[in-house]
């Protein structure tokens, strides 16, 4: 089922498939490890290094850079398929099969979920690992080792998983089921992450301090005081209003009327996910929409329960009909939002397809010119990991025109501001104009649809 869902998502998104900035760096750093080089975690505006993603990048680079990119792209669609199946399985385990089907439909039609998934962000695999842990625990209470193994893997992708592991160890301890293996799995992910940072940078806390510094440089929204206003807005951005309404209905009614373990486990996981988000904000890290994909996914299951969960109540229960009415209201709200959701998905697919074509042409362009010994100037930092991967140039040597304020030959220049806005520039950076393109010079002057390359080495 997961493979079938992955294939459907890939077919719907085709020909969109490319790696985001963070994952390109994971592949680049994995490529460095395979070739005996120390990854450069301190290059300007480097993303947070995620050890498990870097390991996958290294495994892919054992064959070639192209294979590594293809591996991440396949894993990205597979993760979306697995996500859909896990949401269905949890909805079925906590409520019933109909709830599982509706929940999976909700999650796999959310624009941010598909956008981040197609671009191979680590957040979707991270969610899959934690949802897998929840499913194991749902089917076998206090399962222990398999749950903590999944949480440990998740903890090598995102540090929020450490809070889940800590809470689960407390749960095992209270039930008298805690073992030394469980303690080892609890501390394994943070220790491995710190050792990875220490080995590469000499600072075991580099991921924390570096990410916080980058958030400050980019002017990102941070701080616990921003959570009360930002969190509901970002959840609404992911789920939309009818699903949020349904989540409130399904959450309250299932916890009150069903009184079974499934809704309690889901509610606890949702509270922990929000608490982890608050910890990140308190630590000075960015408050990003994708950090809320896990609580949004859990809320989607409860929204599906609002639509279908009333069937679990006895016929004599006075709240059965009231729940059904609220479920119909939720369902009608979701149906009313279908046209806007379709427009959002269509616009996102169009943007992703365009970005895929822009990236493909950039790959072709840098492959046609001898840039390996002549670091180019690129529009800004967004193109750095791609050019570094395809040319073998160290990312620190690749110049950014947006940061330096000038073009130094050879320069890789977008053919229009529309191309820059579509792919190169971060949406938050659009007020930072690129310097004027240089005049034609001796050397290269090749113009394609999206890119032109100007100048030669030493010009």
pLDDT, one tens digit per residue, over 91-147 is 999 999 999 999 999 999 999 999 999 999 999 999 999 999 999 999 999 999 999
Considering only residues 370 and 54, tell me which one the structure prediction assigns the higher pLDDT: 54
Arithmetic mean of pLDDT over the chain: 90
Considering only residues 450 and 83, tell me which one the structure prediction assigns the higher pLDDT: 83
- Put the strands of the sheet holding 399-400 in their side by side order: 399-400, 377-378, 411-414, 451-455, 444-447
- How much of the chain, in percent, has pLDDT values that exceed 70? 95
Which residues, other chains included, contact 123 with Cβ-Cβ below 8 Å and sequence gap of 6+? 116, 157, 158, 290, 291, 293
Tokens of 274: 């929000």
Q: What average pLDDT does range 137-159 have in this prediction?
A: 96
Which residues, other chains included, contact 193 with Cβ-Cβ below 8 Å and sequence gap of 6+? 51, 155, 156, 159, 207
Which residues, other chains included, contact 80 with Cβ-Cβ below 8 Å and sequence gap of 6+? 5, 6, 9, 108, 113, 114, 117, 118, 124
The pLDDT of residue 454: 84
The pLDDT of residue 435: 78
The pLDDT of residue 373: 75
Distances (CA, A) of 145 to 90, 136, 163, 181, 185: 20, 10, 16, 7, 8
The pLDDT of residue 39 is above 70: yes
Cis peptide before 410 (omega within 30 of 0): yes
The pLDDT of residue 285: 82
The pLDDT of residue 6: 84
- Indicate the burial class of 458 (C-beta count within 10 angstroms; 0-12, 13-18, 19 or more): exposed
What is the distance in angstroms between the CA of the first residue and the CA of the last residue of the chain? Answer: 56
CA dist 434 and 404 (Å) reads 10
Q: Domain residue spans in the chain?
A: 2-336, 349-455
Entry pTM = 0.94
- Check if the beta carbon of residue 241 is closer than 8 Å to that of residue 76: no
Confidence band for 11, pLDDT divided at 50, 70 and 90: confident
Q: What average pLDDT does range 364-386 have in this prediction?
A: 83
Q: What average pLDDT does range 439-447 have in this prediction?
A: 59
3-state class (DSSP) for residue 379: coil
CA dist 90 and 20 (Å) reads 29
Looking up tokens 């493979």 gives: 3
Considering only residues 221 and 79, tell me which one the structure prediction assigns the higher pLDDT: 79
The pLDDT of residue 107: 97
Confidence band for 429, pLDDT divided at 50, 70 and 90: low
CA dist 58 and 27 (Å) reads 7
The pLDDT of residue 427: 57
């Amino acid at each position: 089922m997961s493979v079938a869902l992955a294939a459907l998502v890939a077919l719907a998104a085709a020909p969109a498939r490319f790696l985001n900035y963070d994952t390109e760096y994971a592949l680049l750093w994995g490529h460095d490890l395979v070739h005996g080089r120390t990854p450069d975690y301190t290059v300007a505006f480097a993303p947070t290094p995620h050890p498990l993603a870097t390991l996958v990048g290294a495994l892919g680079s054992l064959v070639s850079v192209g294979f590594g990119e293809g591996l991440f792209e396949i894993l990205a669609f597979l993760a979306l398929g697995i996500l859909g199946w896990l949401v269905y399985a949890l909805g079925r385990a906590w409520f019933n099969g109909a709830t599982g089907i509706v929940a999976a439909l909700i999650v796999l039609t959310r624009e941010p979920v598909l956008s981040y998934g197609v671009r191979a962000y680590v957040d979707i695999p991270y969610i899959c690992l934690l949802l897998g842990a929840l499913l194991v625990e749902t089917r076998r209470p206090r399962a222990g080792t398999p749950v903590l193994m999944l949480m440990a893997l998740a903890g090598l992708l995102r540090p929020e998983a450490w809070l889940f592991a800590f809470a689960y160890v407390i749960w095992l301890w209270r039930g008298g089921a805690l073992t030394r293996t469980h303690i080892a799995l609890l501390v394994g992910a943070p220790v491995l992450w710190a050792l990875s940072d220490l080995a590469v940078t000499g600072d075991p806390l580099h991921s924390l301090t570096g990410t916080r510094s980058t958030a400050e440089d980019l002017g990102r929204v941070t701080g616990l005081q921003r959570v009360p206003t930002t969190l509901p807005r970002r959840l609404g951005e992911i789920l939309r209003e009818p699903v949020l309404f349904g989540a409130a209905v399904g959450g309250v009614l299932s916890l009150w009327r069903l009184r079974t373990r499934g809704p309690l486990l889901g509610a606890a996981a949702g509270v922990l996910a929000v608490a982890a988000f608050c910890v990140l904000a308190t630590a000075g890290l960015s408050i990003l929409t994708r950090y809320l994909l896990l609580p949004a996914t859990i809320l989607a299951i409860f929204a599906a329960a609002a639509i279908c969960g009333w069937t679990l109540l006895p016929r004599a229960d006075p709240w059965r009909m009231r729940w059904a009415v609220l479920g119909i209201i939720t369902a009608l709200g979701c149906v009313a939002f279908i046209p806007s959701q379709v427009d959002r998905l269509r616009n996102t697919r169009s943007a992703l397809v365009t970005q895929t074509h822009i990236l493909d042409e950039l790959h072709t362009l840098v492959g046609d010119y001898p840039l390996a010994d002549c670091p180019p100037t690129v529009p800004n930092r967004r193109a750095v990991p791609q050019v570094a991967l395809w040319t073998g140039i160290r990312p620190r040597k690749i110049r950014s025109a947006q940061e330096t304020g000038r073009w130094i030959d050879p320069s890789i220049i977008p053919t229009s501001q529309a191309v820059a806005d579509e792919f190169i520039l971060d949406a938050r950076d659009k007020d930072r104009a690129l310097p004027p393109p240089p005049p034609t010079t001796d050397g290269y002057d090749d113009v394609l649809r999206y890119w032109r390359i100007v100048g030669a080495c030493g010009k």
